[in-house]
Amino acid sequence: MLRSLSAKKRRAFYEGQLNTKHEDLFEGENKSVYIHGFTEDYVKVKTFWNPDLVNTKHKIIVDAIDQDGLVKIDFIKEPIAILQ
């Protein structure tokens, strides 16, 4: 019961973030042809795998919520920083 409530709350939060701009930090794992990252508001996002995205920040716009509950994005411009 609590898990389904959590999923509903997360989905509602993600829906409230649609069509908004964020900064995103991508993690380094290739999971099923996707790379995942998090916005500054902890929205978990995904885009197609690109090794150049690993440990980089990008300005993004939250585009849609996929069937797996993760958010798809569009890039706004080039990376703004590379973390060492």
Q: Which of 5-19, 24-38, 50-64 shows the lowest per-residue confidence on average (mean pLDDT)?
A: 24-38
- Average pLDDT on 78-82 reads 58
Instruction: Tell me the CATH number of domain 2-82, given options 2.20.25, 2.40.50, 2.50.20, 3.30.300.
Output: 2.40.50
**Whole-angstrom distance, CA of residue 57 vs CA of residue 2:** 33
Average pLDDT of the chain? 89
Tell me the pLDDT tens digit for each residue of 38-65. 999 999 999 999 999 999 999 999 999 9
Backbone angles phi, psi at 18, to 5 degrees: -60, 140
Nearest residue to 73 (alpha-carbon basis) of 32, 64, 56, 1: 64
Is residue 28 very low, low, confident or very high in pLDDT (cuts 50, 70, 90)?
confident
With beta carbons less than 8 A apart as the criterion, state whether 46 and 71 touch: yes
Domain ranges of the chain: 2-82
Query: Distance from first CA to last CA of the chain, Å, rounded?
Result: 41
